[in-house]
Amino acid sequence: MRAPDDSARYATIHKDRGSFMVPPNLADYEAARATFTWEAARKGLSGLPRGRGLNIAHEAVDRHACSARANRVALRWLGKNGEHRDYSYRELALATNRFANALRSLGVNSGDNIFVLLGRVPELYVAILGALKMKCVASPLFSAFGPEPVVTRMDIGDARVLVTTEALYRRKVEGVRDRLPGLEHVILIDAAEAEGAHSWHGLTQAASDVFEIAPTDPQEPALLHFTSGTTGRPKGVIHVHEAVVTHYATGLYALDLHDDDRFWCTADPGWVTGTSYGVIAPLTHGVTNIVVEAEFDAPTWYGLLAQERVTVWYTAPTAIRMMMKLGVDVVKNYDLAALRFAASVGEPLNAEAVVWGVEAFGLPFHDNWWQTETGGIMIANFASMDIKPGSMGRPLPGVEAAIVKRGVDHEFEIIKASGEEGELALRSGWPSMMRGYLHEEARYQKCFVDGWYLTGDLARCDADGYYWFVGRADDVIKSSGHLIGPFEVESALMEHPAVSEAAVIGKPDPIAGEIVKAFVALKLGFVADEAMRKALLGHARKRLGAAVAPKDIEFRSNLPKTRSGKIMRRLLKARELGLPEGDLSTLESDER
């Protein structure tokens, strides 16, 4: 994934201090960097009563439920059929208490892993926050995943409880349940108590709405998110309760949340943005969090922005590019006067898209950068800061970033010269840094050198300290903002009886950033024709789900491999893009 370097074509967007609708929380970037401490940031939170530690659910819900914000709408849920449901902070506290008690009634213990496989429905939010109250580890899964990504993640994550719907259970879990011997309880939000499954309704109705969160060490695990690498199975990224300090601080500075905001994060909680910023950060600020169940549709989104008087909007490049395709005129049909701040994350945001925001909404999109491992926003275009369109912005106060180069023996040097490309690194020590890859200590340790966390992204830093995304250092694919591991896709293709070899790359796409493209060699006796292509696309879609499956398959009689037998995805990609093929000294077999 390489960012289009169209930076030079767009002038810096200067922020006129007189024009802010409300003064930004971070008024002066340099001053904030000089004085910021994580200890001070933590003072914005309240901690569990009587000094009993720090729990995300208390910061997000309970502390507001017993304050003047008790009756403010915490979650405003807008269903895909036009219905809506509001939960005040007090109601959210009671609902999450009930779910925490329901877990307790099942004999679930703190530290147990609770998986949630749901679309964006209120129960998803209640389940995550209720599980955190019980000090369980909450792991939301993307509901568009097929059975294979679901079972792989639940297996890695030692799932003890699954919260889902009857239809999702039947389609994605029932057939693979024998691969999950540790899965003890399935809770269905829309079904009656039945053999092998509990009813959400039955359990929560029988449960008390009074619950006291047990003392919580800030270092106790709270969230398990999955991310992908180039090789091997997905990585289970562990985050602890202390991560809430970053969620709060970035909500304050990078999203500029103010007390009376109406905030909408368009990401699904099955991906880290949808949890850190679609659930936790806005609630820690006591604002109204808008949850939209429906998938993207530009006019519907504009209608919702207007109808809900959204003030702060956090979205993603693929959606912005789809809006751009429809043109500015459509936007002008809606009254978006309440919208004050717009931000974007997840993939490179073209400079053109930043500027289009000004044309369409009267606001630039503020790009920011982070990843599952960092748990929260690390680099951002802050509200008060001039924007260089195409840049990810500057590091959060409290975060030290650098561009580094790794040597063959993994030693590394920090690049001082501005503008030179290298790997983006962050000095360890912010509260939401992952605490491990579940069951994979060696893989986790490999991310660190000399106290720096190496992100796997290539970037450069200019003379003003702005960071520019260059590309990934590895072969993972970003498609519509979703990180996809090639190995997971290749494994699913290899399961098909006709496939002898498979290699998967990200092919640039003007809307989705990249799409998944597979190169496949067939076993003897199988014919590489259109029917086979369709069969393989269908097979992958069924196993992996539409968000992960390849969109395109090309047949080859053989795939390029190194002498040690590793398929050279890099070479396939270079050829696909017409780029130089690079060092081919290790190439063993090759047939185009």
- 164 or 374: whose CB is closer to ligand AMP? 374
Minimum distance from residue 415 beta carbon to ligand AMP (Å): 19
- 369 or 453: whose CB is closer to ligand AMP? 369
Minimum distance from residue 438 beta carbon to ligand AMP (Å): 15
- Under DSSP, the state recorded for 387 is B
- 92 or 426: whose CB is closer to ligand AMP? 426
Minimum distance from residue 272 beta carbon to ligand AMP (Å): 5
- 78 or 379: whose CB is closer to ligand AMP? 379
Return residues touching ligand AMP (CB under 6 A). Answer: 227, 271-272, 345-349, 367-369, 371-372, 392, 455, 457, 469, 472, 478, 483
Strands (E), 181-287: 185-188, 198-199, 221-227, 235-240, 262-265
The CA distance from 185 to 196, in Å, is 8
Q: Judge contact between 279 and 308, C-beta under 8 A.
A: no
- 198 or 321: whose CB is closer to ligand AMP? 321
- 272 or 567: whose CB is closer to ligand AMP? 272
List C-alpha distances in Å: 378 to 76, 146, 255: 28, 31, 12
The CA distance from 58 to 222, in Å, is 13
3-state SS record for 244-267: HHHHHHHHHHCCCCCCCCEEEECC
Instruction: Sort strands 137-141 and 113-117 into parallel, antiparallel or unpaired.
Output: parallel
Minimum distance from residue 345 beta carbon to ligand AMP (Å): 5
- 91 or 457: whose CB is closer to ligand AMP? 457
- 58 or 225: whose CB is closer to ligand AMP? 225
Q: Judge contact between 255 and 343, C-beta under 8 A.
A: yes
The CA distance from 447 to 229, in Å, is 12
* Three-class DSSP category at 162: strand
The CA distance from 416 to 94, in Å, is 53
List C-alpha distances in Å: 341 to 90, 253, 264, 394: 28, 12, 11, 17
Minimum distance from residue 80 beta carbon to ligand AMP (Å): 24
Residues 6 or more apart in contact with residue 465 via CB below 8 angstroms: 394, 395
